[in-house]
Chains A and B, each alone.
Chain A
Amino acid sequence: KAGVTQTPRYLIKTRGQQVTLSCSPISGHRSVSWYQQTPGQGLQFLFEYFSETQRNKGNFPGRFSGRQFSNSRSEMNVSTLELGDSALYLCASSLDTEAFFGQGTRLTVV
């Protein structure tokens, strides 16, 4: 069975631009969560979607947003990029107790 797929794997953007990252969960999983991983802050929760509704949100500014589609695929968007947004963005797919992560999207802001 296919795992969690995140695209693209790598991105380089300029400060002030916006970016959209995509996550396709494991078939049948309706919950998708997003995490930001940086060397300084570690793994931090961004938000979680279930059946197209945001159920939880972490402590990130409004420049970070997301959505989930009827097929459970999710996108996250970061607007007005800052240098500090450079990170590995990880998506997790869950059915019940287990959360499975994708390979991540490495975003570099220059």
Chain B
Amino acid sequence: GEDVEQSLFLSVREGDSSVINCTYTDSSSTYLYWYKQEPGAGLQLLTYIFSNMDMKQDQRLTVLLNKKDKHLSLRIADTQTGDSAIYFCAERLNDYKLSFGAGTTVTVRA
């Protein structure tokens, strides 16, 4: 089945690390993605991970994947005010169909 769940809100102090969590249900997922959406904008692809990997690092972003528990997380190091946005986790089920979570609103406070 297709069901991706995320916590809805996260508040973090500027300079701290943010960790956004996501769980998915379909064990046949091939790739898992993180997207960022700012007000009035489309979705910006941040990073993705292949399902046979357990970690991927890309500058300030670290993705951890626990395939056994179907748990995905995105860590943003040294969070800045420009990181305030909605973050979506998505799983790719077949071909190019993506199933998205509801999004986590990240608020960075000074």
Contacts and interface: CB of A to CB of B under 8 A. Distances in A.
Could you tell me the dominant secondary structure of chain B's interface residues? strand
Contact of B42 (A42, A94, A104): A104
Contacts of B101: 42
Nearest to A94: B96
Contacts of B35: 101
Nearest to B101: A42
A42 B41 contact: no
A97 to B, nearest CB: 6
B95 A55 contact: yes
Interface in B23-76: 31, 33, 35, 41-45, 48, 50
A101 B45 contact: yes
Interface string B82-110: 00000010100011111111110000000
Given A99-B98, A103-B41, 8 more contacts: A6-B42, A42-B100, A42-B102, A43-B88, A43-B90, A56-B94, A101-B42, A101-B45
